[in-house]
Amino acid sequence: MKDEVVKNLAAVFHREFGYKPGFTARAPGRVNLIGEHTDYNGCPVLPMALEQCFTAVFAPRPAGAGNGSRVSVVNTDSRFPGLTFIAENPVPPYETGSWGNYVKAGVQTILSYGAAAGKDCQAGCGFEAVITSSLPAAAGLSSSSALVVLSGLMAMASLGLSVPKDTLAKLFADGERYVGTQGGGMDQAVCMLSEAGKALKIEFNPFSAEPVNMPRGYSVVVMDSTVKAEKTRAAMDRYNIRTIECRLGTAVLKAAFSRRYGREVKLGLLGDMTSQNLGIPEEEIIPFAVDALSDSAYSLSGAAALLGTGTGRLAEEYCRRRDGSVLPEPPGGFKLMQRVLHVLTEWKRVEDSVSFLSAGDAAGFGVLMNGSHESCRRLFEISCPELDTLIALALEEGALGARLTGAGFGGCAVALVMDGDLPAFLSAVGRRYYGEYLKRTDGNVSRFLFICRPGRGAGTSVL
């Protein structure tokens, strides 16, 4: 099947560019099993790479063809028009929301890496490529990070560079900020480092990745709410507001800690809130946070007063977008207590999930998935009525656990289902959600509702 995909891409490549491609590349999407909005807080996540992926055939710019830094990419999906740009450092972005920015982000990552290592990569990182994807776009399955990784790997192979995989995972995580989200590193790490058949627990404080077995006899089902989780400027702002709330919450906690305990601690991320770092017992951490933060929302001026700084300075430090403009204060204020409580409890759920999964306890893991969704819905406020309906139906139809996955505000949910229950589950959720609730009449829901198996990480090879 995969060879068939590569063969077709090679034929398109030949038609487009008039010669044969030398290499192939692939980069998988991912589904996050648990650990939502924890990564940029330095707390762990537990995703798995999918078999669904971006696939490319490509060739470094042919020798003697003039500009060795020209990148040309043809996408077999006609919604995404082909693009050509010069890989100069820095690469000027397309307008916000353009798919080409994910290609540029990958290439820029490699150019920046080269520049930091004292190598001039500009001349040799151009390539010509034809790409295709078996991932639904804007569904929360991280097709965008897969595209960043794919593009970066093609630039790297064109240069003949070799960089260790875990270094690449971190480079691509920073590199994707090019598109304007202040994301964590989950998507790029799981895309680079996964082993087929296993989920991956990723820690960020410090970085490490550890494969986790999935329980036998159960399957992961992805269910697309069909509400698009598009990366528009408004969607990026919504995501970035959550990152700001977490950072502001951390700063308020740091100040409260020194008042309460009479000593300073390193507290730059919620992930620094360990018993060892704070020097207090584990069970005191969450009560301390709840006590230190008000459950009413904070205004920027209120937070500034608490932190002993000016409102303008605080906005400057926390609310700048990548393009330099300042994100407006959310109308309802910053909900610091709710966001912090979600992250700290979600962190614990990730740790407990790894224990349950390693012990083959699918039911225990299912309970944690449900707790995670409830926390995402109520405390982090990233769900929507469609996702809540879909998840409720999945539980009624026998899932052991179900939750939204990815950034939220639409996109996909994920459910854990016993293998023997799969046919009845898929047919009931298909009928009840897509037919009765969404009133889709086409009947074919396999592109919205599918079983996924843990796939292997990204890579390139010679054709």
Question: Could you give the strand order of the β-sheet that contains 412-418, starting from the edge strand earlier in sequence?
Answer: 401-404, 412-418, 218-224, 449-452
Judged by CB under 6 A, the residue of 406, 410, 430, 455 near ligand NG1 is 406
Nearer to ligand NG1 among residue 24 and residue 32 (C-beta): 32
Q: Nearest approach, Cβ of 189 to ligand NG1 (angstroms)?
A: 9
Is the separation of the CB atoms in 27 and 53 below 8 Å?
yes
Candidate list 9, 13, 21, 39; residue touching ligand NG1; CB under 6 A: 39
The rounded distance, in Å, linking the Cα atoms of 256 and 294 is: 12
Interface residue with ligand NG1, options 55, 69, 142, 375 (CB under 6 A) = 142
Residues 242, 244, 247, 252: what is their CA dihedral angle, to the nearest 10 degrees?
-100
Q: Does 145 bind ligand NG1 (CB under 6 A)?
A: yes
The DSSP call for residue 320 is B
Contacts for 90 with CB less than 8 Å, ≥ 6 apart: 108, 111, 112
| Residue from 77, 166, 174, 187 carrying the catalytic annotation | 187
Choose one: 89-97, 180-188, 319-327, 391-399; the region binding ligand NG1 (CB under 6 A).
180-188
- Cis-peptide into 385, omega within 30 deg: no
Q: Is 329 in the site for ligand NG1 (CB under 6 A)?
A: no
Per rule CB under 6 A, is residue 42 in the interface with ligand NG1?
no
Tokens (6 digits) for 139: 């569904």
> What's the one-letter identity of residue 101?
N
Residue 153 contacts residue 25 (beta carbons within 8 Å): yes
Q: Coil, strand or helix: which one is 170? A: helix
User: How big is the CA angle at 171 (ends 166 and 172), to the nearest 5 degrees?
Assistant: 100
Span interacting with ligand NG1, options 30-38, 102-110, 244-252, 431-439, rule CB under 6 A: 30-38
140 binds ligand NG1 (CB under 6 A): yes
- Does residue 3 have an active-site annotation? no
Residue 224 interacts with ligand NG1 (CB under 6 A)? Answer: no
Q: Distance (Å, rounded) from C-alpha 347 to C-alpha 349?
A: 5
Judged by beta carbon, residue 21 or residue 42, the one nearer ligand NG1 is: 42
Select from 181, 225, 226, 383 the one that contacts ligand NG1 (CB under 6 A): 181
Cα angle at 73 between 70 and 76, to 5 degrees? 170
Both tokens of 75, joined, read: 């996408």
Q: Which stretch binds ligand NG1 (CB under 6 A): 179-187, 275-283, 284-292, 444-452?
A: 179-187
Rule CB under 6 A: is residue 36 a binding residue for ligand NG1?
Answer: yes
**Shortest reach from residue 260's CB to ligand NG1, in Å:** 30
Name which position in 13, 23, 40, 172 contacts ligand NG1 (CB under 6 A). 40
Report the alpha-carbon distance of residue 419 to residue 399 in Å, rounded: 10
H-run or E-run covering 144: helix 143-159
Cβ-based nearer residue to ligand NG1, 229 or 278: 229
198 lines the binding site for ligand NG1 (CB under 6 A): no
Output the smallest distance, CB 456 to ligand NG1, in A: 19
Among residues 186, 244, 248, 458, which is the contact residue for ligand NG1, using CB under 6 A?
Answer: 186
State the catalytic residues: 187
Q: Which residues bind ligand NG1 (CB under 6 A)?
A: 32, 36-37, 39-40, 140, 142, 145, 176, 181, 183-184, 186-187, 406-407
